[in-house]
């Protein structure tokens, strides 16, 4: 029986969404509002302040989301029967779990990876499929953690080996549609 306050669950949800997609914390309505003010402003000091506000709005700090997770994760776990291994499996860093009051031991790690060798970013990058794919698809294909997959995708994007093709048009469940990627033309022969 779930007895956790919605507020607490939302705090954990917000943090987990950030883990899956760091841009999920961006308030695009606020960015648009600030951009409009910046475009209309003629005062250089006001433009400077608006530029800083835009920078913060476009690149929000994870600190508030992490603090909400640390505050609520242990209670959510207890009230819903969620194990430490479950949080580790979806990519929550050990440091954040420890800060939230979870105990991390070698048994959690063994159960999580089944004794298999952990994949490196380069190994995950070598498993990029042909055609469009999402981070979740690459995670399922490689067996790597969400964090490792995200790092591999970021590395490949930085090297212009991947391009983002927008959001998944077939997404029809709750939450923001995941981004899709494909190999860039210069890599595909």
What percent of the chain lies above the pLDDT cut of 70? 88
Q: Is the pLDDT of residue 63 over 80?
A: yes
d(CA 97, CA 169): 34
Confidence class for position 106, pLDDT limits 50, 70, 90: low
- What pLDDT does 32 receive? 94
Give pLDDT, residue 105: 74
pLDDT at 109: 53
pLDDT band at 71 (very low <50, low <70, confident <90, very high): very high
Which residue would you say has higher pLDDT here, 157 or 107? Answer: 157
pLDDT given for residue 108 in this prediction:
54
Q: For the chain, which domains are there?
A: 6-113 (no CATH), 121-183 (1.10.10.10)
The reported pLDDT for the residue numbered 24 is: 81
For residue 8, the model assigns a pLDDT of 87
Bigger pLDDT: 12 vs 22: 12
Among 32-36, 79-83, 124-128, the minimum mean pLDDT is found in 124-128
- Residues in CB range of 77: below 8 A, 6 or more apart: 83, 84, 87, 102
Give the range among 105-109, 117-121, 174-178, 179-183 with minimum mean pLDDT. Answer: 105-109
- Which pLDDT belongs to residue 188? 42
Global pTM reads 0.48
């Amino acid at each position: 029986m779930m007895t956790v306050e919605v507020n607490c669950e939302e705090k954990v949800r917000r943090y987990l969404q950030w883990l899956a997609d760091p841009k999920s914390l961006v308030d695009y309505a606020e960015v648009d509002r600030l951009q409009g003010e910046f475009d209309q402003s003629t005062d250089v000091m006001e433009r400077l302040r608006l530029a800083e506000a835009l920078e913060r709005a476009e690149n929000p700090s994870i600190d508030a989301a992490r603090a909400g997770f640390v505050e609520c994760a242990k209670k959510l776990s207890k009230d819903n029967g969620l194990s430490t291994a479950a949080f580790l499996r979806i990519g929550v860093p050990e440091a954040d779990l420890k800060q939230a009051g979870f105990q991390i031991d070698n048994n959690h790690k063994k159960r999580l990876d089944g004794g298999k060798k952990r994949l490196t970013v380069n190994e995950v990058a070598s498993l990029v499929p042909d055609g469009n794919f999402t981070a979740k698809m690459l995670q399922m294909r490689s067996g790597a953690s969400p964090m490792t997959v995200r790092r591999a995708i970021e590395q490949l994007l930085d090297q212009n080996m991947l391009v983002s093709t927008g959001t998944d048009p077939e997404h029809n469940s709750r939450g923001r549609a995941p981004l899709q990627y494909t190999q860039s033309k210069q890599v595909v022969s």
